[in-house]
Structure formats: structure tokens, C-alpha cells
Amino acid sequence: MPPKPRINKESKLIKELSRLVVDKQHEVAGLDEEHRHLRLRAVAVQCVVQQIEALIELATELQQQQQVPLLPLPQPPPPQQQQQQQQQQQQQQQQQQQLVDLQGSNASCSSAAGPLSEWGSELARIKAELQAGPHSPSQSCSAASAAAAAAAGRSGAPAEPALSVSWWPAGAEALAAAHSWTAERAKRALQEHLRLFGLLTPRVRTGAPDAASALQRLGQVRGGLLAFCSVLTLVAPELIGGLLLSPIDAEGPMGDGRDPPLEHYVHAARHTGLTPEQVQLALIIVDAYDARHARIAERRDAACARLAEAASKREAAAAAPGVHNLAEENAAALEDHRVLEELTAIQAADICGMAAHSLAIYDSVMTAEQFAEFSVLCWPRVPTLAAVKQATRGEAHAQRLALALLAQALQALSEECHGQNGCAGASGGAREQGSGGAGGSGRGPGSSGGKTHGCEQHRDVLQGPGRP
């Protein structure tokens, strides 16, 4: 009767411990990934804050340039005209006082109008999200990332650097012609920047003798283009809208009205050379803009609903017979004025968010060479935030798929190694049973030899060449 195979209790215990170690390694890897993602979110918020601060400085400079110079004092009018002017001024003052009395406590709505004040409030909101605690119920870039970044510094982990703004104040010369832009001139300026991108990028990519100077010039061209777009956003946002919604060249392969397919932008992102960290930063920034845009859209819908309700009430009152109340009509007109001012502020907030988040991606996340490459590959369209979102999501999916395939391959190799180890150990134990004899220890060279030989053929794959 053949002897029963001997059970190696130590081998079974080692397998259990190995499984426990693998589980803990997966848990640590998950926590490390979450920690890294929180640091990236902190960097994304800082990038957006810095871009908004630069936009506010640009808006301040524009407001100073728009100050109307003092005109020479006019000659005094005749006495009869003076009396008529005084009466008109008194009537105007009385009407203004009535409006102020009707406005009451709602006067703060009109004071909040205007791009600069709305951008200041948006900047305060983003900073509050960044500086809030780890349990803040923020809907956009999580403020918990600041605490995570601080924890990373205490634990010795490398903190993500704060990326700076490159287009301001270097692009201040774009303010000189801020009020003389037309749609055709803006499109020609954009075409000229793209032409320079197409000329300089190959010299940097191929390592030409003047690659260093070409890269420096590339940074200057990018700064000039971003400053040009920022000025247009503040002074003539309708021109920026026209550039984003129409092709740069009508003679291009996609014509005037055809939007590029998703693969067009995914191809551009894939060949831009974005790292996985850059892709994640871009996605975080775009998601933050989407969350902010959704809240702004809710405010806009509520204001439009109030305006429509007031209009229907006025129509009903006008159709009703009887004497109309002048005070009620004035109050309704004042309410319409407040709603229109609120809509203006909401539109300014939306433009602010779009500009700041776009600049955070094109200026803070991308390098000058990457931005130039991406802009040229997106021809004949100007890449919008929606295009960046589609492109980065497609590239992120491709990167995740590649990592998943690599992980599956490594897992298969690991299982194959473990299977060979088990077979070698069993054969070694059988040889020990047959050759041990009376007084034999039951341990022989077959077991250890099988274990070392099992993974030898996959050492280069699992550990890489040149590693022990």
C-alpha cells in the first residue's frame, strides 16, 4: 500500500500569510490612490483660484483704461433755461427717491451686478471650498483636498506643486487694442497663433538645433494667445462665443456647420502627450466647472421663471378693466429691473467660470508644447471645455484599459508561478518520502530546488531587467 502524501503545514501557513499580505497591499494601494487623488484635487482648486485672481487683475486694468476723461465745463445757459433745467432735475431726483424707497432691502441685488463684483464673489466661493474642512459638503472641487495636502506634507509624501500663471502680467500689452477687435480680426489673430504653433512645435519635438529658443518662443505665443482670449472674454464675450462655435477655417474638412466627432478630440488628447496625472487634473477641473455651471443654470432658470411670472401678471392687469395703480406698476417695473440685473450677474458668473477653468487647463495643467500640439490637432475647431472633457475622458478610459490589461497579464503570470511552485514542492516531497528511509528527515533538495526554479523564467517580466 503506497504511503499517503505528506501535508506540508508550513506551506499552507505561508499561503495564508501570502494571501493576507496581498489583501493588505491592495488596501494600502487603494488608500494611496485616494490620497493622491485628493492632492490632485487640491492642486486643481489652486490652479482655478490663481487664474481667477489673474482675471480680476486684468479686469481692474481694463476698468482703469475705460475711465472717461473730464470734459471742459459748458457755458452757463440763459436764465429761462436754468429754471427749466432745475425743474427737470428736481423731478428726476423725486423719481430716483421713489425708486430707492420701493427698492428697500432688495437694493443689494443691483450692487452685486457687474462682472468684477461677481468674479470676486466666485473667487471667494472657490477659496472657501479650498479652505474648508475635510467634511465640507462642497459640490465642486472638494475642500477636503487642502487637509489631505497638509497630511501629505506631515507624512513626508511629496506635495503637488502649485502651478503658476504664465499669461499675466506678461500679456498686458494685449490691453492696448482691447476695444478695437472685430470678429474678422479676432479670427485672423487666432489663425496667426495657430500658424506659429504649427511652425514651432515640430522644431521642439524633433530636437532641432534651435529647439530651446523655439520652446521659449512657444511659451510666449501661448501666453499671448491666452491673454488675447482673456481680454476678449472681458470686453467682447460675443466674439469669443463666435470663435468657439464656428470653425477657424471655413474651407477645412468639416465645413461651417459640422461638429467634429468625438474621435477627433480623443485623437488630439492622445497625441498631446498628457501624463495620467495631467489627465486626472483636467477631468477634475472640468467636473468642477460642470458642477458650478449646473448651479448657475438653476439660478438662471429661477430668475427667468420670475420674469415670466411678472410679465403674465402685467398682461392680466392690463387686460382687466378699471383704474390702474401707478405705484404697483412702478414696483413691477423695478422688480423687472432687479431680475435683469440678476441675470446679468449670473451671466458674468458663468463667463467667469468658463474662462477660469479653461485657463487652468490650458495654462496651468498643460505645458506650452502640449497646448500648442493640442490646439493644432483640434484644427479646424477651437477646443472648448466640452471637447476637453470628451477628449480627456476618452484618454483616461484608454489608460485605465491599458493598466487593466497589464494587471491581468501580471496576475496570470503570478498564478502560473504559484502553480509551478506547488507542483515542484509536491514532487520534492514525494522524492523525500521515497529516499528518506528510516530516520530520514523527509526534507531534501527537491523542494527548495522546485521553488527557486518555478519563477526563474518569469523573473525579467515580474521584476524588470537589471533588478535582483
Q: In sequence order, what are the residues at sequence separation of 6 or more whose Cβ sits closer than 8 angstroms to the Cβ of residue 430?
A: 5
The CA dihedral of 353, 357, 359, 363, to the nearest 10 degrees, is 160
Is 42 part of a structural domain of the chain?
A: no
* pLDDT tens readout for residues 387-426: 777 777 766 666 566 666 666 666 666 666 656 555 444 4
Q: Return d(Cα 261, Cα 396) in angstroms, integer.
A: 18
- Phi and psi, residue 16, nearest 5°: -65, -45
Q: What is the pTM of this model?
A: 0.64
Residue type, 397: H
* pLDDT tens readout for residues 205-229: 999 999 999 999 999 999 999 998 8
Residue type, 216: Q
Is 413 part of a structural domain of the chain?
A: no
371-392 in b/e burial notation, b at 16+ Cβ within 10 A? bbbbbbbbbbbbbbbebbbbbb
Is 386 part of a structural domain of the chain?
A: yes
Domain limits for position 341: 167-319+327-408
Is 190 part of a structural domain of the chain?
A: yes
Residue type, 451: K
- Phi and psi, residue 155, nearest 5°: -85, 0
Tens digit of each residue's pLDDT, the chain (468 residues)? 666 666 677 788 888 888 889 888 888 888 888 888 888 888 888 888 888 888 888 888 887 776 533 333 334 445 555 555 566 556 555 544 544 444 443 433 333 335 556 666 666 666 666 556 343 334 333 333 333 344 444 344 434 444 678 898 876 776 766 667 788 888 888 889 999 999 999 999 999 999 999 999 999 999 999 998 888 888 888 788 778 777 877 665 554 446 677 778 888 888 888 888 888 898 899 888 888 888 888 988 988 888 888 888 777 777 777 666 677 777 777 888 888 888 888 887 788 788 889 999 999 999 999 999 999 988 888 877 777 777 777 666 665 666 666 666 666 666 666 565 554 444 444 444 444 443 444 434 344 344 333 333 333 332 333 333
> Grid cell 436764465 — which residue?
79
Is 282 part of a structural domain of the chain?
A: yes
Number of domains within the chain: 1
57 HSE (CA, 13 A, CB side): 14
Is 271 part of a structural domain of the chain?
A: yes
Is 220 part of a structural domain of the chain?
A: yes
Is 149 part of a structural domain of the chain?
A: no
